[in-house]
Structure 1
């Protein structure tokens, strides 16, 4: 089959996308439920164990705290539990199917803007296998990103086709998909602005005002969504008071992490779970100044050359900005612990679409320009992209193997971010679950060095000592606690059990 025939064969291209997704992430089918969030969200979450209780999912926030409201994610867990029980394989199968669907939607999306089948196919292909997606695909709590991404792109496509055909069903579909995206992840609120940018850039000037009126439906949904969340107490993050200096420092820290993320797009060498970045402490720091200069110069260049830049390039630049805006720290603080903002790899899931489209179109465009000057193979750009795809494919496969092991996943993160108390705490829980009590003891001692007054860590250290048979040492740790607070009953129970074991000796 010639390359021309291949790019015309829609079913074959979609089949290739699906196959590569399952090949790249096949190792995750051996993965267990992770100790960090999976236990809380799925294994010990009674709400998702009874399908008849699905209405209750819309009455509570994500993980029972006021920061997030994502009932569609828990509905996905509920349906998975209904069909697979507590077999993690079924849940990972759902994640891979969602990622494959999103890759197909990316292919459809890019086809809207480019006539060349090679651009849309390679953009979708690189999206499907890129290592930056590993957190969203190979961790079950990443399903919020997968659901949001698929609904977000599908809503845009439905609106696009509505503008062309004026079929009411397509408009209704766009609105429904927008609601589903919002109920999967808050970042979907940017969709109406993205639709507006599409109309401004691509629709005929004579019909822009009329076309823009159709965004009213999405705007109304967004207003109702925020009113509901405000009334229900699900806007905790937005209501946190921060000084302008704190917001500015956090935002500039995010921009620094964005440079790291862009580096990972092209050279994914230090992937790890729960990535974070230490917040700048002063406006005089060298890295802060350098970051500000880089982005200011970039913004100036784009503004000065906006009339020369192709509309499709401007659109996908706006796509990237819109997806990253909600996690930029400007709207709400997103932290993993004091002094560190969350900059996880999963945050690039949807924005990577824009980055990869720009990359693929640039490479193919440069090959064509070069071909006009010298005699080169018409397939040289495709061979280069295929090589990039293979490199990223094997990087993803490696990361899938690591993420299939709970212990390996935690160890990889701590190797890059030893300060991450959230991961270290989860790691100790994994060690105890696997009966590695001596290693768990070492980790709890590290945690107590970081937070000496943490009662939960002290109790857990005592428990890990008792589990090793070091009962006296365990009791000594329990007795160091002067004010157990909410852990009083747990401390009393553990202390009584330890003393009972000691008497039996």
Structure 2
């Protein structure tokens, strides 16, 4: 079979296998974890691709992130599919399939090893650890940023083959686009340095650099292939392994680092932007809340656990809580494992360069999310492995043939083993996808495979409440608080149920706890203000809602609530100003149009009031309050 035919066969196979493994994703619903903030309750995104939306995407930090390209992709989905989740899931699947095919083509171009490249791409496509990145609509940023990551590396390979300024410019632009989808790509310049070593071979002496065309597991052999001259070089490899740091051409490495300064500058810029935005959102844990020693210990364990789940993908969950205790023996064991693999990979770098490159790819690309800078409340996350596992897959794909190189008839053995691995991964991936049917199924599974998971209980409560099961929701919110009394969201959610039941005093107690544990959350402040208003504490209500607006000036619900309170105090002009500002953010809110119409009517602006009542009824035809207000306004316009 010719290389061209082989390539076509592999591309078609990868496409069909990935589509088959993930096809049920099209039938999945939105979930109540981040999807509301990203899509289903995001008013800007729900307007589709608009000039205002594009401006918002590039100028706004939202939920602690600045990733305008991700926002634009969600807006495009709304433009095409509306709020049909099938279309959004289809978009994620398309990107995952594209990433799989691009990864195969990239590895093939760099290594000229079709079967190893195909197997590495198949592992990437089908591994259950990647289900979270594909099945979760909010993780569009994973598949989108990886799309640009692979394109960036591909552009870099073209630049290496023929260094030209326009080609380097393409590298920079594609890298920038990837960072604007998800800043986890900040490690890419380091990846390019690894690829300079292998498989691009740029660290070899002049005249010998280039892509390795040798069989799997062997470094590129300079000069003629299989010539007798090459044998002494191969025999000398052990001395190179033993003194790898001394054997590296440091002046050339320095040149390659300088070559990448624009890329390092972009990485530094986006690292700062990400830290500042996450810190401003209150997502970055302080050293007092999480000591450095605990972070390092958890990071070591996470590196080992990701490898364990790569080998045996069991008990996968959308949220892993921090363990209460990190056993010292486990931390030491994880550290020794990492040190041992690093030492072995470095020692064998001369003979098996793919080993050190794959290992450092894995270690390096996890650095931004491994937990030294603790962002969020999760100990680890499956989605963080989407790019890093490529390094381990390279080690497996190139290592397996090397292990069997002295075995006769190794090709059938490798083929059967690869087929069995692919079949097993497809089965587990299909099973894991079934847990993503909706929020209830997702968090039921999460609670089944984790313990003492306060966040999962809170999210399960929210999912149940959306289905109308308030008793079940109440139980899960209470359990979330029992496990972690400082879970501010659970206090807020429990307060909402109590407020709906008229138990306002109890609701206020929980809202106060939510504010105490997270004073910078505008939603908690707004809910506390509403509860104070129900208690008749007008000044306290106005104070809390104004604080919410200080934290988030474009918070439409807080504007609406403040306007309603001011209107109840007879301050109609001030109320109208808040209603109009809220409408600018949420033009499709029927209740807001109705209240603005009422304020206008009291000010004598009958025609404008009628227009807003009619708009409220266009949005919500069965809105009796707006119907009555419209009749009253029409009678006033007609006069006696």
Question: Do they fold alike, i.e. is TM over 0.5?
Answer: yes
Cα distance change, pair 167–10 in 1 and its aligned pair in 2 (3 A): farther
How do residues 472-483 of structure 1 correspond to structure 2 at under 5 angstroms?
Answer: 474=503, 477-478=506-507, 483=512
Q: Which residue of 2 aligns with 1:441?
A: 474
> What do the CA deviations read for 1:355-396 (whole angstroms, capped 9, x no partner)?
11211222222233212xxxx363220111110000000100
Moved more, 42-51 or 73-82: 42-51
Question: Over alpha carbons, which structure has the higher Rg?
Answer: 2
- How far has the Cα of 1:47 moved from its partner? 2.2
Moved more, 345-354 or 17-26: 17-26
Are 1:417 and 2:450 an aligned pair? yes
- How far has the Cα of 1:205 moved from its partner? 3.4
Q: Which residue of 1 aligns with 2:570?
A: none
**Conservation of the 8 A alpha-carbon contact between 1:316 and 1:355:** yes
- How far has the Cα of 1:242 moved from its partner? 3.0
Are 1:84 and 2:81 an aligned pair? yes
Cα distance change, pair 412–116 in 1 and its aligned pair in 2 (3 A): same
Provide the C-alpha distance between the structure 2 equivalents of 1:198 and 1:377, rounded to a whole number of angstroms.
Answer: 28
- How far has the Cα of 1:176 moved from its partner? 1.0
1:430 is paired with a residue whose SS is helix
How do residues 264-413 of structure 1 correspond to structure 2 at under 5 angstroms?
Answer: 264-278=309-323, 285-303=328-346, 305-330=347-372, 332-336=373-377, 341-371=378-408, 376=409, 378-413=411-446
**Conservation of the 8 A alpha-carbon contact between 1:459 and 1:477:** no
> What do the CA deviations read for 1:282-337 (whole angstroms, capped 9, x no partner)?
xx82222222233233333344x14544222222222112211111223x11341x
How do residues 174-193 of structure 1 correspond to structure 2 at under 5 angstroms?
Answer: 174-193=171-190
Q: CA RMSD in A?
A: 3.1
Cα distance change, pair 128–458 in 1 and its aligned pair in 2 (3 A): closer
**Conservation of the 8 A alpha-carbon contact between 1:257 and 1:277:** no
Q: Which residue of 2 aligns with 1:222?
A: 267
- How far has the Cα of 1:262 moved from its partner? 0.8
Q: Which runs of 5+ in 1 are unaligned?
A: 497-505
Q: Which residue of 2 aligns with 1:96?
A: 93
- How far has the Cα of 1:455 moved from its partner? 7.7
- How far has the Cα of 1:408 moved from its partner? 1.0
Provide the C-alpha distance between the structure 2 equivalents of 1:158 and 1:416, rounded to a whole number of angstroms.
Answer: 42
> What do the CA deviations read for 1:149-172 (whole angstroms, capped 9, x no partner)?
121122112111111023444322
Q: Which residue of 2 aligns with 1:259?
A: 304
**Conservation of the 8 A alpha-carbon contact between 1:441 and 1:464:** yes
Provide the C-alpha distance between the structure 2 equivalents of 1:134 and 1:328, rounded to a whole number of angstroms.
Answer: 19
**Conservation of the 8 A alpha-carbon contact between 1:106 and 1:124:** yes
Cα distance change, pair 36–211 in 1 and its aligned pair in 2 (3 A): closer
How do residues 113-124 of structure 1 correspond to structure 2 at under 5 angstroms?
Answer: 113-124=110-121
Q: Which residue of 1 aligns with 2:566?
A: none
Are 1:129 and 2:126 an aligned pair? yes
- How far has the Cα of 1:280 moved from its partner? 5.3
**Conservation of the 8 A alpha-carbon contact between 2:194 and 2:357:** yes
Moved more, 101-110 or 219-228: 219-228
Provide the C-alpha distance between the structure 1 equivalents of 2:87 and 2:530, rounded to a whole number of angstroms.
Answer: 35
TM-score, scaled relative to structure 2: 0.67
**Conservation of the 8 A alpha-carbon contact between 2:70 and 2:144:** yes
**Conservation of the 8 A alpha-carbon contact between 1:438 and 1:464:** no
Moved more, 344-353 or 247-256: 247-256
Q: Which residue of 1 aligns with 2:215?
A: none
> What do the CA deviations read for 1:155-210 (whole angstroms, capped 9, x no partner)?
11211111102344432221111101111222211111222233345214348466
Are 1:166 and 2:166 an aligned pair? no
Moved more, 149-158 or 420-429: 420-429
**Conservation of the 8 A alpha-carbon contact between 1:478 and 1:495:** no
Q: Which residue of 1 aligns with 2:559?
A: none
Q: 1:73 aligns with which of 64, 70, 78?
A: 70
Q: What is the number of residues matched between the two proteins? A: 473
Q: Which residue of 2 aligns with 1:144?
A: 141
**Conservation of the 8 A alpha-carbon contact between 1:463 and 1:494:** no
> What do the CA deviations read for 1:437-491 (whole angstroms, capped 9, x no partner)?
2211211221232355878645644664787xxx58x567447669576233333
Provide the C-alpha distance between the structure 2 equivalents of 1:97 and 1:460, rounded to a whole number of angstroms.
Answer: 36
1:199 is paired with a residue whose SS is helix
Cα distance change, pair 149–458 in 1 and its aligned pair in 2 (3 A): closer
- How far has the Cα of 1:492 moved from its partner? 5.0
**Conservation of the 8 A alpha-carbon contact between 1:24 and 1:400:** no
Are 1:491 and 2:488 an aligned pair? no
Provide the C-alpha distance between the structure 2 equivalents of 1:478 and 1:217, rounded to a whole number of angstroms.
Answer: 53
Q: Which residue of 2 aligns with 1:58?
A: 58
1:205 is paired with a residue whose SS is coil
Q: Which residue of 1 aligns with 2:293?
A: 248
Provide the C-alpha distance between the structure 1 equivalents of 2:15 and 2:483, rounded to a whole number of angstroms.
Answer: 45
2:262 is paired with a residue whose SS is helix
Cα distance change, pair 162–456 in 1 and its aligned pair in 2 (3 A): closer
> What do the CA deviations read for 1:97-153 (whole angstroms, capped 9, x no partner)?
110111012102321343331111111112111111000000012111112212112
Q: Which residue of 1 aligns with 2:461?
A: 428
Moved more, 345-354 or 417-426: 417-426
Provide the C-alpha distance between the structure 2 equivalents of 1:15 and 1:378, rounded to a whole number of angstroms.
Answer: 21
Provide the C-alpha distance between the structure 2 equivalents of 1:235 and 1:451, rounded to a whole number of angstroms.
Answer: 22
Cα distance change, pair 70–276 in 1 and its aligned pair in 2 (3 A): farther
Moved more, 240-249 or 11-20: 240-249
Are 1:42 and 2:75 an aligned pair? no
Provide the C-alpha distance between the structure 2 equivalents of 1:74 and 1:218, rounded to a whole number of angstroms.
Answer: 23
